[in-house]
Amino acid sequence: MLTIGILDLQGNVSEHFEITTKALKNFENDSRVIKVRNSAEASCCDGIIISGGESTVIGKLLEKTGINNIIINEKIPVFGTCAGMVLSASKTDYEQPLLNLIDMEVKRNAFGRQKESFEKEIDILGYKFNGIFIRAPAVDQVGEDVHILSRLEDKIIGVKQGNNIAISFHPELTEDTRLHEYFIKEVLKCVE
């Protein structure tokens, strides 16, 4: 049984739950989506999605619940969106707990005040995707093992290192399951 967990500490959890449920219908595996609120639930997961929200708050709760250690020690693949991207980073421009899953430096709220929220068609994985950016971060620098998936103007907005994926925007606020399916394929590589 393939289990995808949606971290449920703070943020856009129900939207990710719904789109992941929809994405999993395109796979033949016996699968389920669960909400992850503690380390025991995290331990059951083959992959975990970290939603948008407030990364400082989520980071502190990851430490308090011990879910951070489960993700790191059990090498559970993570798909981080927006605040989830911040938390996947090795470094940010703000002092906060991080998971250090992807060798990158992330700038929070990178798109400036007047453009705090916007939608823009972006290119990722060879197709167009409706990028919804809400006080979005961007990647300033990446290590040599990090693969860049997408850029918007001069900013890096999608990356992958090993089985971990991080993007600046919110696919869970669209009906488009392709990025969730891309993550599920990464998770399947680890379990098969």
**Residues of each annotated binding site:** 53-55, 108, 134-135
Specify burial of residue 27 (Cβ count, 10 A radius: 0-12, 13-18, 19+): middle
Q: Which residues contact 120 (CB under 8 A, 6 or more apart)?
A: 130, 131, 133, 152
- The site for ligand GLN (CB under 6 A) is made up of 52-55, 82-83, 86, 108-109, 134-135, 137
Least spacing, CB of residue 42 vs ligand GLN, in Å: 20
Which one of 41, 170, 180, 186 is the catalytic residue?
Answer: 170
Least spacing, CB of residue 60 vs ligand GLN, in Å: 12
Which one of 15, 41, 45, 82 is the catalytic residue?
Answer: 82
Which one of 45, 172, 180, 186 is the catalytic residue?
Answer: 172
Number of neighbours of residue 174 by Cβ within 10 angstroms: 17
Query: Ramachandran region of residue 122, left (φ > 0), alpha (ψ -120 to 50) or beta?
Result: beta
The two tokens of residue 51 are: 């939603």
The answer to whether 44 is a known catalytic residue is no
Q: Binding-site residues for L-glutamine, please?
A: 53-55, 108, 134-135
Residue 8 is given by DSSP the state: -
The answer to whether 16 is a known catalytic residue is no
The two tokens of residue 169 are: 């925007």
Q: How far apart are CA 153 and CA 104, in angstroms?
A: 18
The answer to whether 172 is a known catalytic residue is yes
The residue at minimum Cβ distance from ligand GLN is: 52
Task: Please say which residue, 71 or 82, places its beta carbon nearer to ligand GLN.
Answer: 82
Residue 55 CA to chain centroid, in angstroms? 12
Q: How far apart are the first and last CA of the chain?
A: 11
Least spacing, CB of residue 25 vs ligand GLN, in Å: 26
Task: Please say which residue, 54 or 181, places its beta carbon nearer to ligand GLN.
Answer: 54
Specify burial of residue 49 (Cβ count, 10 A radius: 0-12, 13-18, 19+): buried
Task: Please say which residue, 60 or 135, places its beta carbon nearer to ligand GLN.
Answer: 135
Task: Please say which residue, 46 or 79, places its beta carbon nearer to ligand GLN.
Answer: 79
Least spacing, CB of residue 155 vs ligand GLN, in Å: 14
Active site residues: 82, 170, 172
